Every structure is written in C-alpha cells, then in structure tokens.
A and B are shown apart, each in its own frame.
Chain A
Amino acid sequence: MKKEPATFLLSAAATILITGSIIIAHDLSGGFKQYLVDLTGHHWTSVSIIAVVLFMLISLLILSSEKLAILLKANDLKIWTRGLAAATLLAILGTFMVYIYTTLR
C-alpha cells in the first residue's frame, strides 16, 4: 500500500463534492429526503454517516490501487489542495443557492 501525499486531500474533495450533491438533491426531492430519514431516523444523521463512509472508502480505494493513484495524481499536493478548496467552495455555494431557491419558491 503506497501512501501518496495528496491521498486524503483528494478523498476529502471527492467526499465533499458527492456529499454536497446529496444535500442539494435531498432538498429538491422529497422522496430522496424521506429515504435518508428512513435510513437512520434523521436526514442529517444519514448525510453525516454517508460522508464518513465515503471518505473512508475513497481513501482506501486510492491507497490500495496504485493505478488509480497515478491516474488521479494522488502525489500532487498542489493540485489537490486547490481541488479541495474549489470543491468546498462549490458545495457551499450550491447549498446556499438551493436553500435560497426553496425558501423563496
């Protein structure tokens, strides 16, 4: 298992993008929100657990596959620091916009 320096930053960026998409989708779709409620009893708890599981799975996947690590440039800290900042900013803005939209709707 080769530990590339940007593995966890890459994994965090991917987790935040996917979790951000789940947050946006569950606010726009009542059915999906109900599915998340059914999973743990509260949609927020489900999203939190999904984020943790995603982070662990993506990290393990990159750590265990050298090909994937090379393909995703998991050794490049510069790219993935920027990637993480961009993913976080995008997910925050997307979440803000969707809640403003659903409140004003």
Chain B
Amino acid sequence: MAQIYVSWIGHAFIAIIGLILMTYTLATGAMLKGRIRSKQANIFPLHKKAAIYYGTFILGTFLYGLLIEIKHEEPVLTSIHGRLGILLLLIVFFQIIPSLAAKDRTRIRKLHKILGYALAPLMFMEVSWGLYNGLISGSKNLVLIHSMSGGLTALALVWIILEILYPTKEGIVRTKIASYSAAFLVVVGSWIIGGYNYLTNYGSQVKPIILSGPKPWAHSIVMEVKEHIFIFLPIIIIALSMTLVIIDQDSVLKDPNVRRAIAITATLAFLMILLMFLMGAIVSNAGNVGLEV
C-alpha cells in the first residue's frame, strides 16, 4: 500500500516540476521573440538557463525511469511512456545543443520554435501517462484519454493566462484558438469520454472494489462530488470561449478590466482541473488499495 502511495506521489511530484520548468522555458522563449510582452530587457540568459535546467531534468527522469525498469526486470523502453520519453529527450537535446553550439542561430530559429511548441503537448501526454501508470498500472485507456484531455485543457488555460497577462494583437488571436481547443478537449475528452467510462467501467468494476476496501469514502464522498462538480468545468470553459468570441480585440488590448475578467475565469477553470486531478488520484489510489485487500 505504501509503495503505491509513493509511486503516484513521486510521479505527481516529478510531473509538477517538469511542467513548471517547461512552461517557464516556453514563456521565456515567447518573450524573447516578442510573442509575449515582457518588461525585462535581457530575456536570453533566463531562457538559456531554464532550457538547461529543463533538459537536465528530462535526462534525469529518463535515466531514473530506465533504472527502475531494469531493477524490476521489465523489458526496457517497450512501453509508450518509455518511447515518448526518448522522443522528449531527443527533442530537448536537439533544442539545447545546437542553440548553445551554433554561432549563427538564425538558421535554426524556425525549427527551434516548432520543436519548442511541440514539446508542450508531448510533455503533457507523457506526464499524464506516467501519472496514470503510477495510479492504475496503465490498463485503462479511457481513463488515460480522460486524464490527458484534462492535462491538455490545463495547458491551453495556462496559455490563455500568459497571453492575457502580456497582451499583443496576435496574442489575442492565439488566446481565442487556445480557448476553442480547451472547450473541445474538455467537452469531448473529459466530459463525453470520461462520462462514458464512468457510466460503463467505473460503476461495475472500480466502485465495488472501493466500497468493499478500506477507503469507501473515496467513492461515497470524493468520487460522488467529483463526478457532479466536474459538470461545472465545461460550462465555465465554454462561457470563457464564447466571451472571447463576442468581445472585440481592441477592448481586450486596451481595457485591463476585460483582461482581468478573462484571466480570472481561465484561472478558475485551471484550479478546477487541479482539483479534478487530485480527486481522481485519491479515487484511483483507493481502487488500488481495495484490490490489495
């Protein structure tokens, strides 16, 4: 039981650090190119430092994962989690090494930008996959899709918040794209697929195990609350998306009250996703503990 707890806590801890480092690296990269406005004059040293920390972190977690697989005598790098890890590692190194070595970085800028932004969804997929491997031994695809959609929606919301904090004309267009993506992901991935899983698999397979285990409250309180308050989340994100549709670009750029309203609504939705992740982790942990009894 303690081992399972350590397993998902460890994954969650690593996931949070990785996502913070990635967001910081991406944000400083966007500031460097003026996509996000910044008051600081020299951003490059910050971006370089963040990228090196992020790269070292990815290398460290990859090696640690490899070590664990070898220790457990499992086939090395055959899982999707492992292969995604290699892909992330390669991209990160391809981002850092040429940028540090090249004297003229203008030639690699476009590729650097594309690979940099590609890292974000890949990282979220990897993190969600790892977290759920730690939680439920990676057998439930629907739960995985549900969780990944949640992770990607959170990413889109962070994107909205960053764009709104440092507004530009092009940034407002990107904010709208991010809000449509968030609405699509939360409705299709989290609501419809998650709902289908809840109505079919959860009730017949997971719920009886939790109720007969040592933590029945994980269903009767945590899951019951989660399944119901979740419904508020797509409503908030759709409202945010529709608000961005009807508000004209100039008022977003000129009126700080409008920007504050968008940032607060996106933050509200983001905090709700964090709450959903926490509650989902408690329910999955109770299911694992129930299986062991």
Contact = CB atoms under 8 A, between A and B. Distances in A.
**B interface: dominant SS:** helix
A23 B191 CA distance: 17
Contact of B264 (A23, A85, A100): A85
A92 B222 CA distance: 12
Interface in A48-82: 48, 51, 55, 59, 77-78, 80-82
A92 B195 contact: no
14 contacts: A5-B251, A7-B246, A8-B242, A12-B239, A16-B232, A16-B235, A59-B242, A78-B261, A81-B260, A81-B264, A91-B232, A92-B229, A102-B220, A103-B217
A9 B265 contact: yes
Contacts of B268: 84-85, 88
A5 B239 CA distance: 11
A47 B207 CA distance: 20
Contact of B228 (A3, A47, A77): A47
Contacts, number: 101
Contacts of A19: 231-232, 235
Interface of B: 191, 195, 198-199, 217, 220-221, 224-225, 227-229, 231-232, 235-236, 238-240, 242-243, 246-247, 251, 257-258, 260-261, 264-265, 268, 272, 275
Contacts of A3: 246
A55 B228 contact: no
Contact of A91 (B217, B229, B238, B264): B229
Contact of A8 (B225, B239, B257): B239
Contacts of B224: 27, 99
B199 A45 contact: yes
B225 A48 contact: no
A77 B243 CA distance: 10
A8 to B, nearest CB: 4
Given A81-B260, A85-B268, A88-B272, A55 B225 contact: no
Contacts of A91: 229, 232
Contacts of B229: 23, 91-92, 95
B225 A6 contact: no
Given A44-B227, A84-B268, A99-B220, A8 B243 contact: yes
B239 A84 contact: yes
Contacts of A77: 243, 257-258, 261
A51 B258 contact: no
A49 to B, nearest CB: 10
Contacts of B251: 5
Nearest to B263: A81
Contacts of B217: 103
B232 A47 contact: no
B228 A9 contact: no
B221 A103 contact: yes
Given A8-B242, A47-B231, A96-B225, A88 B236 contact: yes
A95 B199 contact: no
Given A84-B265, A103-B217, 5 more contacts: A9-B240, A84-B268, A85-B264, A99-B224, A103-B220
